[in-house]
Amino acid sequence: MAGGAERIRALLRAVNVFLQQRRYHAALAVLKGFRNGAVYGAKIRAPHALVMTFLFKSGSLRDKLKSIAQATYAHSRNLAYFVFTYKGLLAAQSQLQGKKIPFHSFLAACIGGWLVFGDNNPINSQIIMYLLSRILFGLARLAVDKGYIPQPKQDPFPLVAALVWGTVLWLFEYHKETLQPSLQSSMTYLYEDSEVWHDLSDFLIYNKRTDSK
């Protein structure tokens, strides 16, 4: 027993020494990126899938749990694959050119995005839309910082908020099919289901009655 424990400690020491080797840093960073992508994807998707599934999906408990597991796995896998691909291509370009330049990041991410997130499915669609909104804000800030557009004299956020909500509700009311399914479900719950009730039970306690009254 003691010998086995000592061998494990020796193995751990050897692994830790190996992890400190600078010559392997780029390759190890790719592997850790894969690990972090898998963990982060699961942490982000699992609670979201749990809430959305139990709020808006019907079916047995087994079906709901299966749906949550599938969504979590898909998000975790895709993010792990993307980080692995991105960091691998980044390291390869840096090795080939002897230095890292900004275009390397763009090219590596473009290839990774095409390969990993190119399939138009609900999980990828949500991730891309999430990134798109932040890209637009980031580019707007960058344009101001670089002097391409003047610094606003007043905070533009109230105007942006007004336009975003005005546009999304207009689309929901008159062109619902253009919106992403989970957004449709959320807005249906908020704006359409609140138009229907039969008594106190489905006015205050439940959203919809489950009996046959």
Q: How many domains does the chain have?
A: 1
In a domain, residue 190? The reply is no
Measured CA to CA, the distance from residue 194 to residue 188 in angstroms comes to 9
Report which of 87, 71, 104 is spatially closest to residue 37, judged by C-alpha positions: 87
* Per-residue confidence (pLDDT) for residue 32, from 0 to 100: 95
Measured CA to CA, the distance from residue 172 to residue 181 in angstroms comes to 11
Find the domain containing 40 and state its range: 7-118
> What string of DSSP letters covers 87-113?
HHHHHHHHHHHSS--HHHHHHHHHHHH
In a domain, residue 11? The reply is yes
From the CB of residue 72, how many other CB atoms can be counted at a distance below 10 Å? Answer: 21
Q: Return the half-sphere exposure (C-beta side, CA atoms, 13 A cut-off) of residue 176.
A: 11
* Per-residue confidence (pLDDT) for residue 65, from 0 to 100: 94
Query: For 85-99, how does the pLDDT look when each residue is reduced to its tens digit (9 = 90+)?
Result: 999 999 999 988 888
In a domain, residue 59? The reply is yes
In a domain, residue 16? The reply is yes
In a domain, residue 92? The reply is yes
* Per-residue confidence (pLDDT) for residue 211, from 0 to 100: 60
* Per-residue confidence (pLDDT) for residue 213, from 0 to 100: 47
For the chain, residues with pLDDT lower than 70 are: 1-2, 210-213
In a domain, residue 69? The reply is yes
From the CB of residue 156, how many other CB atoms can be counted at a distance below 10 Å? Answer: 11
In a domain, residue 88? The reply is yes
In a domain, residue 197? The reply is no
Which long-range contacts link 119-126 to residues 24+ away (Cβ below 8 Å)? 121/74, 122/180, 122/181, 122/182, 123/45, 123/71, 123/74, 123/75, 123/78, 124/78, 125/180, 126/180, 126/182
Query: For 37-86, how does the pLDDT look when each residue is reduced to its tens digit (9 = 90+)?
Result: 999 999 999 999 998 888 878 889 999 999 999 999 999 999 999 999 99
182, 126 contact by CB (below 8 A) = yes
